[in-house]
Structure 1
Amino acid sequence: MPSHLSLLLLSLFSFYFLSTLSLNPEVDYLYQIKLTFDDPDNVLASWTANDTSPCHWYGVSCDPITKLVTSLDLSDSNLFGEFPMLACKLPHLKSISLYNNSINSTLSEQVGSCGSLEYLNLAQNLLTGMLPAGLSRIGGLKVLDLSGNNFSGDIPASFGEFRSLEAISLVENLLNGVVPGFLGNIWSLKQLNLSYNPFLPGRIPPEFGNLTNLEVLWLTGCNLMGEIPDSLGRLSNLIDLDLAINNLRGAVPSSLTELTRVVQIELYNNSLSGELPRFGWGNMKALRLLDASMNELTGTIPDELCELPLESLNLYENDLQGSVPVGIAKSVNLYELRLFGNRFTGELPRDLGKNSPMLWMDVSNNEFSGELPGSLCEKGVFEELLVISNKFSGEIPVGLAKCRSLTRVRLGYNRFSGEVPEGFWGLPHVYFLELAGNSFSGAIAKTIAGASNLSSLSIFKNNFSGSLPEEIGFLENLKDFAGSNNWFSGSLPASIVNLGQLERLDLHNNVFSGKLPSEIHSWKKMNELNLANNDFSGRIPEEIGSLSGLNYLDLSGNKFSGAIPSGLQNLKLNQFNLSSNRLSGDIPALYAKKMYRSSFLGNPKLCGEIDGLCDGRARAKNIGYLWMIRSIFILAGLVLIVGIAWFYWRYMNFKKVKSAIDKSKWTLMSFHKLGFSEYEILGALDEDNVIGTGASGKVYKVVLSNGDAVAVKKLWGGSKLVDENVDVEKGAPIHNDGFEAEIETLGKIRHKNIVRLWCCCTTRDCKLLVYEYMPNGSLGDLLHSNKSGLLDWLTRYKIAMDAAEGLSYLHHDCVPPIVHRDVKSNNILLDEDFGARVADFGLAKTVDAIGKGSNSMSVIAGSCGYIAPEYAYTLRVNEKSDTYSFGVVILELVTGRLPVDPEFGEKDLVKWVCTTLDQKGIDHVLDPKLDSCFKEEICKLLNVGLLCTSPLPINRPSMRRVVKLLQEIGGFEGQMKSVNKDGKLTPYYYEDASDQGSVA
């Protein structure tokens, strides 16, 4: 008996011992959680069932003493699946973070059983449905972040019962109730963020004034209306107040000046009116940023406000009137002053910049007068000075001539006078210098040789005189030189032909003389040449005909003589004027047409078949030769026969020559394994095979011997001219050498939704790009033609999905990331199954090439209707610019309309959609060709398009996020409540700290 008892006890002890080694319930729960997730990146590989402890697993943290799980952090792990309710069974779990995954479905009410949680972060996922009321049962919860999901409906009343909650963020969801006042009962709150939700119109709850512990209040884009309640002045601990992008009206309450700890106040893009509070600003010693832009404020800026140590004062696009108080110059930390687009008058403070390290100042489009302060660059860090369209006078301060940190200077359309200081011409980092529309005098100093970074020099409509210095030829980066309407004289310096990057040279209405240099063939990128109304003489250089990109040529009002160069017939000119010169001889055949008559007037010795250009008396002298007319008629038949025979011989000879191309002249660079040679391509470049002609060249369809087809792009002269790309600061077309960009980009990347570049063939004078052939052409051509009926809803959705995945690959999977810069429907090609490929990378740039995050470009690149709004003023570009352009493509797919259309008036498609939605409702926006049974899904896609085209880059999603949103539409699982009771679509917004672009 004792032996049996001993054996039983030993067995029980062994079972208990083995159980403690292999059966840890936390291991079991977490392993079961792993099985519920789809884990394509295998980040949970360390989670194995036979472990005795999970404390060393990825994303798991334990108490160092008890070895019990206290934290689960699986952020950015690319996990798919539902919220793991089993985690609530871990009794000591205090923190769960599943930030930026693909957690989907709804969030169960049972989440309230996670009683030990203090921190819950489910931001940037795909959760839908109502917010679970049971969350308030987690008594110790301090942080709740559910931003970046698709929660809809009202905020549950139970949320007012939290007693320990310190931070709640519901930003960028689809909450469509009202902003509830019961959130003012959570006295423990320090951060309240409800931004970017399509709430019903409502007021700011005055109960929020009870949140005396609140440090951050973000109500951006919450459809708020009415006045700002005085009760907000009771938030004595508030640091950040953001009420921007709403419909708030009335005056800014004086109670806001009682926020003594506040650092920044953002009230921009509302309808606030009246004057700013006159007193109380002196109490706000911590205030660094006040942005009240895009309102209807009036009056002057209070003196007390100007005496604060502000870092940024943004009051632009208001109706403010009056002068800027001298007190603004006392701001110790003021480094950015933006007051453009108001009605300010008076002078700028004389000591502006003396006590603060000014970096950037824009007071454009006001009524300022007086001289510029000489102390702007006192601290030596001043970078951008923009004072366009004011009434400033006097000379440029000498201090600015020593400001070597300056990068962008725009003093245009003022009343400045006097000579420009010598040092000012040669500032080494200035890339944009505009002095146009003033009364400056004197000559361009030789010190301009030091302006090595100068890209645009705009000095027209002044009183400059003297000759251009030879040193201007040292500006190897100069693309635009506009010096018209001055008093420049003498010959053009010989060095001017060294400006190989020059795209526009406009020197009309001066008194230049002498001959044009014959070496101008080096201006390969020249687009506009305007030398009208000067005293140039001699012959027009034949070399002008070699400038293949030239489309604007005006040499009128000079003293050019001799014959018109026949080489001009090689050009594709949109503007052509040689009138009022001394030209003689015959007009080249291409231009001997009535439409060009005005281009040749005022040249008495010039003759051609255009009525009015030949002197009638000369005809009388030729009467003796009338007998030749009879001979011409007699020989007409013979000439016709000989001509046909000659043409046939020339054509056959041309075919032979082309087929016998010297192999040594061609260079082939392949990017994939090829089943053809370059000679098979070259032999098929006939006019019969042309399928498209554009600004960059011709595109041919070539059917290979194996039956496959390829598309061949033959670039004009090896250079790409992008006639749709507009430099908004100049209003002129730009050039871009797209060949290198195409092969640099497409030669390296591989993706099913990026058009495949098979190879390129080059000679000194010809460049060919060979792509996979896309039978259905471009989305733009198909969508906006009579064949648009082929694009039903499912096809359009598939196209949007494919294109989004292609752009997401460029932005997130390429190292370094690639910005396309010309996303549009014509650059999305369709294969035989309407699968989409992103194409045309002639403008593409890597992020490293344009600066991490964003950078200022010298000119605008892109196509009209697709260009993001931040381009127009800041010239800053990043991935969010592509997102905007893709959003326009989505709007095209949903509406069936062009990005720009005369029907829109001065609006583009984005503004037309927003206006029509607001005034007429959703049915007036959707393409009637789309089946109405898919209306809900179409509205969801439209909502994504509006999200992508948000005016602020920070509010646009990344393309990776766009793909997730589109995937949800494809599954028809989301609850993106986009149509309200009035039948109007309410756009929702986006903000993600991990996904921000630079804000203009």
Structure 2
Amino acid sequence: MSEITPILLLIHFLTPFLFLHANSQFHDQEQAVLIRLKQLWQNPLSLEQWTPSNSSHCTWPGVVCTDNYITQLILDNKNISGTIPPFLSDLKNLTFLNFSNNNIIGKFPVAVHNLSMLEILDLSQNHIVGTIPDDIDCLARLSYLNLYANNFSGNIPAAIGLLPELRTLRLQDNQFNGTFPPEIGKLSKLEELSMAHNGFSPSRLHSSFTQLKKLKMLWISRANLIGEIPQMIGEMVALEHLDLSSNKLTGTIPGSLFMLMNLRVLYLHKNKLSGEIPRVVEALNLTSVDLSENNLTGTIPVDLGKLDKLSGLSLFFNQLSGEIPESIGRLPALKDFKLFSNNLSGSIPPDLGRYSALEGFQVASNRLTGKLPEYLCHGGNLRGVVAFDNKLGGELPKSLENCSSLLVVRISNNAFFGNIPVGLWTALNLQQLMISDNLFTGELPNEVSTSLSRLEISNNKFSGSISIEGNSWRNLVVFKASNNQFTGTIPLELTALPNLTVLLLDKNQLTGALPPNIISWKSLNILNLSQNQLSGQIPEKFGFLPDLVKLDLSDNQFSGQIPPQLGSLRLIYLNLSSNHLVGKILAEYENAAYSSSLLNNPGICASRPSLYLKVCISRPQKSSKTSTQPLALILSASIIAFLLALLFAFIIFRGHWKRNRRSGSEWKFINFHSLNFTESNILSGLTESNLIGSGGSGKVYRVAANGSVLAVKKIWNNSPVDKKIEKQFLAEVEILSKIRHLNIVKLLCFLDNDNSKLLVYEYLVNHSLDQWLHTARRSNKYAQTSRINEKIDVYSFGVVLLELTTGKAANYGDTGLAEWALRHMQEGKTIVDALDEEIKEPCYVDEKSNVFQLGVNCTRRDPSARPHMKEVLQILLGRSHPLAYGVNIGSEHDSTSLLKNSKRERQSESHSTLASDS
């Protein structure tokens, strides 16, 4: 025993030193890992303090140690680029790893597999690709897993259901395109589950999910869910936030949802849910309910008035009927109230806004009667009143007079009468006042809100003169005041509005000459002053308005000649008829596109008889007696020259006729413009060396003719589809010969014989947009449409937007791309499904969806429902939502009801930007 004691004593004394040495060595190894990380990531500035010369690495930014071991590495928002290396697994004591919001690439890091102590893992908002590993369950202690906003794809592995400590699982905004497993229902401690905004294969919400008794948040919107919502969802007693919106869910809304005492947010919008809204059995804690854009029927439950904490109620785009329960008007927390586009009738709850600080009020496109509630702006926070397309009447509430928070008032197409409250005209923040198609009376104020950009008061009974004082009107962009009883002259101050794009003052009683300073209307697109009593000459300064595309001065008393400067305008619509204009019309207007633009002006004449106008006659001057002999000599010489020319022409024509006769064909030549080339110039250029394209119905040649470069489209007549080609040819000639537009190729002339037809256009370089978009999938040359009107350019632009977003050609499918896109949305399919595979990644998916939806709006069957190009520009610049100028036909709602569909089609400018404020 005595011999062993010294050894034991030695060990006893050496052990602390050995432990300290080992600890120091491990400490150095961990520091080395951090230095290697910094070098791998190319020394980002955010890690410049990671230097060995500093104090212990446990004090470095982002590093947390426990007992001198690194347990937390928090490097979010550090602008780190590159991959996560395998040697990270040397930090074996890590429990918290946060690399979120960087530029990390590669697949799920292998090193993480070996971090068995890990409890919190956050790799969100990076560029990680591939799948989640099938052995993710090796991280058995994991309680928080956040992979949000990456590029993960494939399936969510079943092993994720074997993480017994998991409380938070965030997988939204990735590219998962497979399935998610029912094993998720085994995560008994799970409190938050987010899988939204993924392109899963069509999947049902597993009934096993109802076993998640501790789940507080379930967010699976826009994830291709199908089938019905499980009836047992009411067993998820801890649920506070449920969002299953923008899917393809069918069936009814389970009544058990309205028995969840902890539920605060319920979002089921943009699905295919049907049936009635369940009754509210208990006084729940719901703060926001959105069931919009479904196929819900029946009435609004009176029990919704029990939801004392409800701040937002959205039921728009359904088929709800009956009256709005008065109890909803007494909800103390209600802020946003959106019931537009239903079949609701009766009066609006009179107490609405009286007991809550109402912000949004949207009940448009129903069958509501009675007055607007008096207390709408009682709380002082009302931003919008959107109630157009109803049967409302009476005078406007006096409370709107002092409502400084108002941004939008849209109450067109009702039966309101009386004067507009004075304070409403000048409401501090008012941007849109749209009150057309009512019975309002009174005069326009001299001053309006300086924020006002859109004023629409057409089809009312306003009277008096239009007078403007100061700069209060300076931001006005659209002013529509057609069909009222305004008198007096057009004020000079109206021409000083630099942002004005649309001015409609037609069907009034305005008199006098136009203001001299109209050149200030640099942004003006549309001007309609027709059906007034305006007089004087048409100002030549109209010719200097670069953006003017529609001009209507018809049914007035304008006199004098048409200013030559008007010929420089790129008008798609012109009407100067029913005035007292005289003289020869401008050469630019001598084509069929303007055939009805100058009628009922007795003093107007044309150089040729094709415009339904009399032909101008040049009267020779009277000659004096002393000039008789020279004139006779000149006349004789002219006659001789004419006979010689006639003989020469006869010889040439006979030879040409013989050649045509030998070839079995004689060309018919019709021109639409003054040309510097002849028929022979065209025919001689139809050689194989000039061929630039061919298709099922003919060929296209590039022909140089007397200094001009032409594109000649040759359509054969000897195919078995002669009638169809003939119809196509005549339609193209009829349309293109009438159109004069900067963005449409000019048809110069056409030739026709027994064997073929030739369309001669101006030649455009750099190929066509179709070739650039669809090089690999060319089509034989496009679908014809006869719906030609002033919005053809909007339609064409919409087709381009659809081509860009879908990758499909304009003639895709049986009926063309525009019809296919509309049907795609009407069938309840997601916009993401329609996008081109090359741009389908989740980044900016909302923006891509907006462009697709804008394309559908631009290609509406009803031209009046299409937006103006200025409005299209505002949407593309992100300054407006597609809802602001067109109907949101919905990316995922069903439109089986013809009544509902036609109702939405009518709303060409349906809902303001308030419709997207939820």
Do Structure 1 and Structure 2 share a fold, with TM-score over 0.5?
yes
Superposed CA deviations along residues 481-529 of structure 1, whole A, max 9, x for unmatched, are 1111122122222332322332222111111112222222222222222
The one-letter code sitting in structure 2 at the alignment partner of 1:34 is L
Q: Distance in 2 between matches of 1:787 and 1:204?
A: 42
> What residue in structure 2 maps to residue 501 of structure 1?
499
> What residue in structure 2 maps to residue 53 of structure 1?
56
Q: Distance in 1 between matches of 2:404 and 2:254?
A: 43
Is the contact made by 2:272 and 2:828 (CA closer than 8 Å) also made in structure 1? no
Matches within 5 A, 1:304-453: 304-308=303-307, 309-446=309-446, 449-453=447-451
Q: Distance in 1 between matches of 2:380 and 2:482?
A: 33
The one-letter code sitting in structure 2 at the alignment partner of 1:526 is L
Residue 567 of structure 1 pairs with residue 565 of structure 2? yes
SS at match of 2:258: helix
> What residue in structure 2 maps to residue 469 of structure 1?
467
Is the contact made by 2:811 and 2:817 (CA closer than 8 Å) also made in structure 1? no
> What residue in structure 2 maps to residue 753 of structure 1?
none
Superposed CA deviations along residues 40-59 of structure 1, whole A, max 9, x for unmatched, are 73433333456673112232
Q: Distance in 2 between matches of 1:632 and 1:465?
A: 65
Q: Distance in 1 between matches of 2:44 and 2:814?
A: 46
Q: Per the alignment, do residues 619 and 102 of structure 1 end up closer, same or farther by CA in structure 2, a change over 3 Å counting?
A: closer
> What residue in structure 1 maps to residue 274 of structure 2?
273
> What residue in structure 2 maps to residue 531 of structure 1?
529
Residue 903 of structure 1 pairs with residue 816 of structure 2? yes
Q: Distance in 1 between matches of 2:827 and 2:373?
A: 47
Tell me the CA shift for residue 217 of structure 1.
1.0
Tell me the CA shift for residue 865 of structure 1.
8.3
The one-letter code sitting in structure 2 at the alignment partner of 1:301 is I
- State the aligned residue count: 707
SS at match of 1:120: strand
Q: Per the alignment, do residues 51 and 444 of structure 1 end up closer, same or farther by CA in structure 2, a change over 3 Å counting?
A: closer
Is the contact made by 1:430 and 1:451 (CA closer than 8 Å) also made in structure 2? yes
Superposed CA deviations along residues 947-983 of structure 1, whole A, max 9, x for unmatched, are 4655479x9xxxxxxxxxxxxxxxxxxxxxxxxxxxx
SS at match of 1:526: coil
Matches within 5 A, 1:793-812: none
Superposed CA deviations along residues 204-235 of structure 1, whole A, max 9, x for unmatched, are 22222222211111122332222212322122
Q: Distance in 1 between matches of 2:399 and 2:574?
A: 44
Q: Distance in 2 between matches of 1:594 and 1:629?
A: 41
The one-letter code sitting in structure 1 at the alignment partner of 2:277 is L
Q: Per the alignment, do residues 295 and 619 of structure 1 end up closer, same or farther by CA in structure 2, a change over 3 Å counting?
A: closer
Q: Per the alignment, do residues 602 and 277 of structure 1 end up closer, same or farther by CA in structure 2, a change over 3 Å counting?
A: same
Is the contact made by 1:594 and 1:610 (CA closer than 8 Å) also made in structure 2? no
Q: Per the alignment, do residues 18 and 595 of structure 1 end up closer, same or farther by CA in structure 2, a change over 3 Å counting?
A: closer
Q: Distance in 2 between matches of 1:723 and 1:569?
A: 13
Matches within 5 A, 1:889-928: 891=805, 894-895=807-808, 903-906=816-819
Residue 302 of structure 1 pairs with residue 301 of structure 2? yes
Matches within 5 A, 1:515-664: 515-591=513-589, 596-611=594-609
> What residue in structure 2 maps to residue 142 of structure 1?
143
Q: Distance in 2 between matches of 1:867 and 1:53?
A: 62
Q: Per the alignment, do residues 599 and 27 of structure 1 end up closer, same or farther by CA in structure 2, a change over 3 Å counting?
A: same
Residue 31 of structure 1 pairs with residue 34 of structure 2? yes
Q: Per the alignment, do residues 184 and 790 of structure 1 end up closer, same or farther by CA in structure 2, a change over 3 Å counting?
A: closer
Q: Distance in 2 between matches of 1:315 and 1:531?
A: 41
Q: Distance in 2 between matches of 1:480 and 1:350?
A: 33
Tell me the CA shift for residue 552 of structure 1.
1.9
CA RMSD in angstroms, aligned pairs only? 4.4
Q: Per the alignment, do residues 614 and 238 of structure 1 end up closer, same or farther by CA in structure 2, a change over 3 Å counting?
A: closer
> What residue in structure 1 maps to residue 206 of structure 2?
205
Q: Per the alignment, do residues 517 and 155 of structure 1 end up closer, same or farther by CA in structure 2, a change over 3 Å counting?
A: closer
Tell me the CA shift for residue 287 of structure 1.
0.8
Q: Distance in 2 between matches of 1:614 and 1:143?
A: 81
Q: Per the alignment, do residues 347 and 94 of structure 1 end up closer, same or farther by CA in structure 2, a change over 3 Å counting?
A: same
Q: Per the alignment, do residues 172 and 786 of structure 1 end up closer, same or farther by CA in structure 2, a change over 3 Å counting?
A: closer
Is the contact made by 1:31 and 1:48 (CA closer than 8 Å) also made in structure 2? no
Q: Per the alignment, do residues 789 and 582 of structure 1 end up closer, same or farther by CA in structure 2, a change over 3 Å counting?
A: closer
Is the contact made by 1:23 and 1:52 (CA closer than 8 Å) also made in structure 2? no
Matches within 5 A, 1:89-128: 89-107=90-108, 111-128=112-129
> What residue in structure 1 maps to residue 172 of structure 2?
171
> What residue in structure 1 maps to residue 232 of structure 2?
231
The one-letter code sitting in structure 1 at the alignment partner of 2:338 is R
Q: Distance in 1 between matches of 2:413 and 2:432?
A: 15
Structure 1 stretch displaced more, 286-295 or 899-908: 899-908
SS at match of 1:226: strand
> What residue in structure 2 maps to residue 642 of structure 1?
none
Q: Per the alignment, do residues 153 and 533 of structure 1 end up closer, same or farther by CA in structure 2, a change over 3 Å counting?
A: closer
Is the contact made by 1:539 and 1:560 (CA closer than 8 Å) also made in structure 2? yes
> What residue in structure 2 maps to residue 963 of structure 1?
none
Q: Per the alignment, do residues 782 and 51 of structure 1 end up closer, same or farther by CA in structure 2, a change over 3 Å counting?
A: farther
The one-letter code sitting in structure 2 at the alignment partner of 1:31 is L
Q: Distance in 1 between matches of 2:453 and 2:557?
A: 31
The one-letter code sitting in structure 2 at the alignment partner of 1:317 is F
Tell me the CA shift for residue 545 of structure 1.
3.0
Q: Per the alignment, do residues 890 and 18 of structure 1 end up closer, same or farther by CA in structure 2, a change over 3 Å counting?
A: farther
Q: Per the alignment, do residues 47 and 791 of structure 1 end up closer, same or farther by CA in structure 2, a change over 3 Å counting?
A: farther
Is the contact made by 2:803 and 2:809 (CA closer than 8 Å) also made in structure 1? no
Superposed CA deviations along residues 171-226 of structure 1, whole A, max 9, x for unmatched, are 23344444333222221111111223333333222222222211111122332222
Larger Rg: 2
Q: Distance in 1 between matches of 2:148 and 2:354?
A: 43
SS at match of 1:283: coil
Superposed CA deviations along residues 816-852 of structure 1, whole A, max 9, x for unmatched, are xxxxxxxxxxxxxxxxxxxxxxxxxxxxxxxxxxxxx
SS at match of 2:493: helix
Q: Distance in 2 between matches of 1:783 and 1:615?
A: 41
> What residue in structure 1 maps to residue 751 of structure 2?
none
SS at match of 2:517: helix
Q: Distance in 2 between matches of 1:787 and 1:950?
A: 20
Q: Distance in 2 between matches of 1:545 and 1:631?
A: 42
SS at match of 1:159: helix
Matches within 5 A, 1:820-831: none
Q: Distance in 2 between matches of 1:473 and 1:558?
A: 30
Q: Distance in 2 between matches of 1:198 and 1:615?
A: 66
Is the contact made by 1:34 and 1:44 (CA closer than 8 Å) also made in structure 2? no
Q: Per the alignment, do residues 445 and 620 of structure 1 end up closer, same or farther by CA in structure 2, a change over 3 Å counting?
A: closer
Structure 1 stretch displaced more, 556-565 or 346-355: 556-565
Q: Distance in 1 between matches of 2:774 and 2:176?
A: 36
SS at match of 2:73: strand
> What residue in structure 1 maps to residue 657 of structure 2?
none
Q: Per the alignment, do residues 146 and 514 of structure 1 end up closer, same or farther by CA in structure 2, a change over 3 Å counting?
A: same
Tell me the CA shift for residue 253 of structure 1.
1.0
Matches within 5 A, 1:830-849: none
Is the contact made by 2:773 and 2:803 (CA closer than 8 Å) also made in structure 1? no
Q: Distance in 2 between matches of 1:633 and 1:579?
A: 44
> What residue in structure 1 maps to residue 750 of structure 2?
none
Matches within 5 A, 1:209-224: 209-224=210-225
> What residue in structure 2 maps to residue 977 of structure 1?
none
Superposed CA deviations along residues 772-797 of structure 1, whole A, max 9, x for unmatched, are xxxxxxx996573557787899xxxx
Is the contact made by 1:952 and 1:999 (CA closer than 8 Å) also made in structure 2? no
Is the contact made by 2:31 and 2:57 (CA closer than 8 Å) also made in structure 1? no
Q: Distance in 2 between matches of 1:359 and 1:209?
A: 36
Could you tell me which runs of 5 or more consecutive residues in structure 2 were left unpaired when the two chains were aligned: 1-12, 642-706, 711-740, 744-763, 779-792, 854-915
Superposed CA deviations along residues 449-494 of structure 1, whole A, max 9, x for unmatched, are 1321211111112222222124387411112211111221222223
